[in-house]
Amino acid sequence: MRFTLFGAGAIGGNSIVDSFKDANVHMKNKGGLGVTSILLQAGDVVDFVKIVLPSPAVTKHQQEEDNWGEEWVSFSQLSMKVDSNSPL
């Protein structure tokens, strides 16, 4: 997949996509599952997002330490509501 972004100060998307490959290899070398990428597009604007996929052991530890319990949906909704009310 090859990208070209146009506009004032825009850079080619190829270098960004290539950096995902490097980040993926780096995380795998550290014992993680790697890095996945998400491309979000709204009109002519494209955002590239990297999501780190840690090792299963680290994921399990994080879930145990950050357990929101049965109320996780309520906490998630509250978190999004507070964030959406924040001034930019």
Per-residue pLDDT of 12-65, as tens digits, reads 667 777 888 888 898 889 888 888 888 888 888 888 888 888 888 888 888 888
* Long-range contacts of the stretch 28-32 (C-beta < 8 A, 24+): 31/55, 32/58
Q: pTM (2 decimals)?
A: 0.49
Q: How does pLDDT run across 52-83, given as a tens digit for each residue? A: 888 888 888 888 887 777 777 887 777 777 65
Q: Whole-number mean pLDDT of the chain?
A: 76
Sign of dihedral through CA atoms 18, 54, 46, 40? positive
Residue spans per domain, the chain: 1-55
Determine the pLDDT at residue 1: 46
